[in-house]
Chains A and B, each alone.
Chain A
Amino acid sequence: MGVLEDKLPDNILFTNVDKFLNWSKKSSLWYMLFATACCGIELMQAGASRYDLDRFGAIFRASPRQSDLMIVAGTITHMMADRVKRLYEQMPSPKYVIAMGSCANTGGPFFKDSYSVLKGVDKIIPVDVYVPGCPPKPEALIEGIMKLQKKVMEEKNLVKK
């Protein structure tokens, strides 16, 4: 929010403006198309007609420049990790990350003795919501997105923290 950020007093007008800003943020969580392994199939399914993520305002964008949310769906290898970090840095803030599936949370089935897999995407980028499962069902992902929406609603934009 530029110059006004964290500067305004905590009164009834500005808290309501803040709420309005949060509401518009949470209702248009555009996520980046980013599927690196099997969890990606569930992510696609969550976006398709049966589960229909669009009704939460979450639609996919193919470019990090246009997205607010990165759903890391799948195994991240060391080779990919640098790219993930760069993609995250290319997203304009405010930006959020959901780690979807055991692989993105902790390395999952590859946790022990794997030479190529990054053991959790939180080693390289900050994660807001972890969705467990291998793979998580679309319902679980939707719950993760709703958790994130709750988190977004509690944010403060203009008023002092």
Chain B
Amino acid sequence: MEPKQIYEILSGKFNGKIKQFVENTFPPSVIVEPDSVVDVCRFLKTEESMDFKSLICLSGVDLKEQGKMAVVYHLGSMNHKHKIAIKVELDRNNPHVQTVESVWPGANWYEREAYDLLGIIFDGHSDLRRILMPEDWEGHPMRKDYVYPKQYHTWDV
């Protein structure tokens, strides 16, 4: 199925929750309201004609100039050989979004990474700890206004 068709089906089903279709990204992306992302994802996974069984990647993006944080879900279907990206935009000062762990269990570690590096909070996540940085690290190093600490434990960074 073409991404444009997927977008049209989604906007028919989730009235008012689907904000925009962006064609010039790869794969083309659909911008969704943060509060309905779990419903949209579950629909995309379970619906026979969509069949997005695989969450290829989940990544956080810091859009500092626009005062936003974004989470991008790259989805793929092995059976239908189509791809799409779902994107949610959050408030940069208080980035909260529901976890999609209940849809794809593999999202667990992706979401921990986005939390670790960008400080995006995934509500309802079963184990939201840091994954790459040490537990007692301060701040989220991939944020664009992050200031590196001079010292960590006994050595300089």
A residues within 8 Å of B by Cβ?
A: 77-79, 81-82, 113, 115-116, 118-119, 123-124
Nearest A-chain residue to B155, judged by Cβ: A123
Nearest A-chain residue to B135, judged by Cβ: A79
**Complex Cα–Cα for A81 and B152 (A):** 11
Tell whether B1 is near chain A: CB-to-CB under 8 Å.
no
Find chain B residues with CB under 8 A from A124 CB: 154-155
Find chain A residues with CB under 8 A from B142 CB: 115
Tell whether B3 is near chain A: CB-to-CB under 8 Å.
no
Judged by DSSP, the binding face of B is loop
- A selection of 10 A-B contacts at a CB cut-off of 8 Å is A78-B134, A78-B137, A79-B133, A82-B153, A115-B133, A115-B141, A115-B146, A116-B132, A116-B141, A123-B155
Nearest A-chain residue to B142, judged by Cβ: A115
**Complex Cα–Cα for A78 and B151 (A):** 11
Tell whether B156 is near chain A: CB-to-CB under 8 Å.
yes
| Interface pair A116/B133, CB less than 8 Å apart | yes
| Interface pair B155/A81, CB less than 8 Å apart | yes
Tell whether B9 is near chain A: CB-to-CB under 8 Å.
no
| Interface pair A115/B155, CB less than 8 Å apart | no
Q: A78-B134, A79-B134 are in contact. Are A118 and B155 (CB under 8 A)?
A: yes
| Interface pair A115/B134, CB less than 8 Å apart | no
Q: A115-B148, A116-B132 are in contact. Are A78 and B154 (CB under 8 A)?
A: no
| Interface pair B154/A79, CB less than 8 Å apart | no
Find chain B residues with CB under 8 A from A77 CB: 132
Most buried by B among A77, A79, A115, A123: A115
